[in-house]
């Protein structure tokens, strides 16, 4: 067995899981740890993208999506595939695994006997980063409402990020007086934390409009009524001007925030929605890799959680968490292949009808 790691893999301590197996780390310009750090613990550095030529029994360990290609996937991949909730392109991705004989072992679905996620460390880090960005965007709106929020770069620590947010608030205080900081200092009393108990009755939730910032952090597992609708936000009778969608399910048909459908990035962190006839701003943050804003903290916490499960890969066929992941993949693969077959049939019928119609038209013109 081989363990291969893809670009930006956060497992600086992966050598502990090697147990006699060779660990390969691809070169990358976008990694918080240096290549020499991996070499010091016995990893071999290889060229970026060389995972595709690895032995077929190699585990390809990564974080985010694979290159958008048609090439069949022949390896077992351990990463966040974003393919089991009906996201864009999920059928095609799983078909590639099927064609190549590979397998998607989605980290998001490593769960215990009660169904609770075991490797969820990116969740809290995404929440922290999403909350910080929402504050930064709100500050930017106060100072430069006619300008889009600029690009962002990762912080080396949570302290660096918090200090930067404080500096943004200080700018507003300097602009508008100490009362702004006083209100921020007391904002803990103005933060409303909702759980399933508050949302179990189903949306929409007009109360969200009374807050300046809304941070969505739900774990979406099924279709639910929307939290907000376009009709609700297309007016000036709202305080809400910033939405930080940490869950980022906008490409899913079950999206609980159907007011937008555009992923944002560190280069362009916000999407300003057209709320006509409303003249009030509404910026959405929908970055699906928020933990990368705190790369070292996120990497270390994630690695500590994932490593015990990598230890168990030789027992993947019997170890319950991996068995559940494999079963989930097989279940979703069946759905994907069935969906592709139905779609192919419909497309074939549509072509036949079009050809028949074309032939009839030609006959009529003779």
Place of tokens 């006509």: 276
Q: Which is catalytic among the residues 2, 15, 64, 280?
A: 64
Cα separation, 256 vs 247, whole angstroms? 10
Q: Crossing angle, helix 122-143 and helix 158-176, to 10 degrees?
A: 20
Within its chain, how far is the Cα of 82 from the centroid?
Answer: 7
Cα separation, 287 vs 263, whole angstroms? 6
Q: How is residue 268 annotated by DSSP?
A: S
Token pair in block for residue 135: 């504050």
| Residue 290 annotated as part of some ligand binding site | yes
Q: Which is catalytic among the residues 74, 77, 82, 326?
A: 82
**Active-site residue flag, 64:** yes
Query: Which residue, among 60, 40, 64, has the nearest Cα to 50 in the 3D structure?
Result: 60
Strands 103-106 and 242-245 come out as: unpaired
- Cβ atoms 139, 171 nearer than 8 A: yes
Place of tokens 């006997």: 113
| Residue 289 annotated as part of some ligand binding site | yes
| Residue 199 annotated as part of some ligand binding site | yes
CA distances from 173 to 133, 170, 179, 191, 301 (A): 18, 5, 7, 20, 35
- Cβ atoms 285, 242 nearer than 8 A: yes
| Residue 140 annotated as part of some ligand binding site | no
Strand extents, DSSP E, the chain = 2-5, 23-26, 44-46, 58-61, 76-79, 103-106, 213-216, 242-245, 270-272, 283-285
CA distances from 167 to 12, 67, 162, 325 (A): 32, 38, 9, 44
Residues that constitute the known binding site for NAD(+): 199, 246, 287-290
Residues annotated as part of the active site = 64, 82
Residues that constitute the known binding site: 199, 246, 287-290
């Amino acid at each position: 067995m081989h363990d291969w790691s893809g670009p930006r893999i956060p497992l600086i301590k992966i050598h502990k899981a090697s147990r006699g197996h060779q660990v390969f780390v691809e070169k990358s310009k976008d990694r918080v740890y240096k290549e020499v750090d991996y070499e010091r613990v016995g990893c071999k550095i290889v060229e970026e993208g060389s995972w595709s030529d690895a032995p077929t029994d190699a585990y390809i360990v990564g974080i985010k999506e694979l290159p958008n290609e048609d090439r069949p996937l022949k390896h077992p991949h351990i990463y966040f595939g974003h393919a089991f909730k009906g996201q864009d392109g999920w059928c095609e991705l799983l078909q590639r695994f099927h064609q190549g004989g590979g397998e998607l072992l989605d980290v998001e679905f490593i769960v215990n006997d009660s169904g609770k996620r075991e490797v969820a460390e990116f969740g809290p880090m995404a929440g922290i980063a999403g909350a910080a960005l929402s504050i930064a965007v709100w500050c930017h709106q106060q100072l430069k409402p006619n300008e889009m929020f600029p690009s962002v770069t990762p912080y080396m620590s949570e302290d660096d990020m918090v200090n930067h947010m404080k500096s943004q608030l200080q700018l507003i205080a300097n602009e508008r007086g100490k009362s702004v900081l006083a209100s921020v200092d007391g904002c803990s009393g103005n933060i409303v934390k909702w759980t399933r108990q508050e949302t179990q009755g189903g949306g929409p939730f007009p109360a969200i409009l009374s807050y300046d910032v809304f941070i969505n952090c739900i774990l979406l597992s099924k279709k639910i009524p929307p939290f907000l609708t376009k009709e609700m936000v297309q007016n000036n009778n709202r305080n809400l001007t910033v939405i930080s969608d940490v869950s980022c399910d906008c490409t899913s048909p079950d999206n609980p925030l159907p007011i937008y459908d555009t992923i944002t990035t560190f280069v362009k962190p916000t999407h300003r929605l057209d709320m006509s006839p409303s003249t009030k701003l509404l910026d959405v943050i929908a970055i699906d890799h928020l933990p990368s804003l705190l790369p070292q903290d996120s990497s270390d916490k994630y690695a500590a959680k994932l490593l015990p499960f990598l230890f168990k890969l030789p027992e993947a066929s019997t170890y319950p968490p991996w068995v559940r992941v494999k079963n989930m993949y097989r279940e979703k693969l069946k759905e994907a292949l069935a969906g592709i077959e139905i779609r192919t049939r419909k497309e074939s019928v549509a072509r036949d009808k079009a050809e028949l119609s074309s032939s009839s038209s030609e006959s009529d013109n003779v």
